[in-house]
Amino acid sequence: MSTLRWGILSTADIGMEKVTPAIQAAAGCEVVAIASRDLSRAEAAAETLGIPTAHGSYEALLDDDAVDAVYIPLPNDMHAEWTMKVAAAGKHVLCEKPLAMSAAQAEEMIAACAEAGVLLAEAFMYRFHPTWQETFRLVRGGAIGELQAVQSWFSYFNDDPANIRNIVEHGGGGVMDIGCYNINSARLLFGAEPQNVQAAVHRADGTVDTLASAVLEFPGGGQATFTCAIRSEPHQRVHVVGSAGRIEIEIPFNIPPDRETRIFVTAGGDPPVAPATETLTFPSQDQYTLQAESFARSVLSGSDLQFPIEDAVHNMRVVEQVLAAG
């Protein structure tokens, strides 16, 4: 096999607008089918995106022998069911974040894919982008000294009661939807799991969390603090602070695919008035395309995933701790 043939399970907006076109542009990838529970909707999506086959049910896509791997952009509460069904059909799985509704459920999904002999990856696309790859390299190489703190913010405004992000039964709420990014990036930067989690969580309508702040304490005294919100002005930032410098990531998560991106590395100078800051600029790249290419390389070559799927279990444990603490 020289090309990974993809099927898209549902016509969800993120797949239609971002991920599927990015997979189509990825080296070693071809999108050959898309499915919806409404055939006419699948056919319309296929025509819009130039996909050769439309299926009127998810099961039909799983039965399609032309499909090697499936991308799942379904609501969070459907991830486990359909990941395990895809695995049972012998197809590899790229599933949207968060992988599951709980750490225990994520473990079940991983076990099912391992038993079926297929790869399972969680679609945290940001970590494949050059801005983050360089940030990881700088931190691990000691460019800012000993890592001490990660501060991050991620927010948007959505008060639509019919939106799945505002329905707790579908795995809605800010921590599940975007706080998982704050948690994941901090864990990757420290290369460890937090040993203590404290949080304040506000549930504006008595169900989903709409504003949450947390402190994660890592071995050795490092700390990560973050706020995520789904009723606030859209904004995102990440500051990485060490004993000898700091890094600011300009657009950390919703990284635009059509413009240059930057990180700012500060070490020395005369802070706070005149710090010595170097601006590192990266050519435009689509993080979803990079994610698809990395997944395809692992499938086609039989190599390990760049980010092991067990990371999803660890991340969900922290998500659960944050929600329980608040």
Give dist(CA 102, CA 99) in Å, integer.
8
Bridge partners, 249 (sequence order): 238, 263
11 token code pair: 């016509």
Per-residue pLDDT of the chain (326 residues; tens, 9 = 90+): 789 999 999 998 887 899 999 999 999 999 999 999 999 999 999 999 999 999 999 999 999 999 999 999 999 999 999 999 999 999 999 999 999 999 999 999 999 999 999 999 999 999 999 999 999 999 999 999 999 999 999 999 999 999 999 999 999 999 999 999 999 999 999 999 999 999 999 998 778 999 999 999 999 999 999 999 999 999 999 999 999 999 999 999 999 999 999 999 999 888 888 899 999 999 999 999 999 999 999 999 999 999 999 999 999 999 999 999 98
85 is catalytic: no
Give the per-residue pLDDT at 314.
Answer: 98
Tell me the backbone φ, ψ of residue 39, rounded to 5 degrees: -60, -40
Are the C-beta atoms of residues 260 and 285 closer than 8 Å to each other? Answer: no
Question: Measured on CA atoms in the order 286, 311, 253, 164, is the torsion positive or negative?
Answer: positive
Contact assessment for residue 172 and residue 272, using Cβ atoms and an 8 Å cutoff:
no
Task: Give every CB contact of residue 66 below 8 A, 6+ residues apart in sequence.
Answer: 5, 32, 33, 53
**Tokens found for residue 250:** 């300009």
Query: For residue 164, what are the CA distances in angstroms to 53, 74, 252, 257?
Result: 28, 10, 24, 26
Give the pLDDT confidence score for residue 205 in this predicted structure. Answer: 77
Residues 6+ apart with CB under 8 A from 106: 99, 100, 312, 313, 316
Per-residue pLDDT at 255: 97
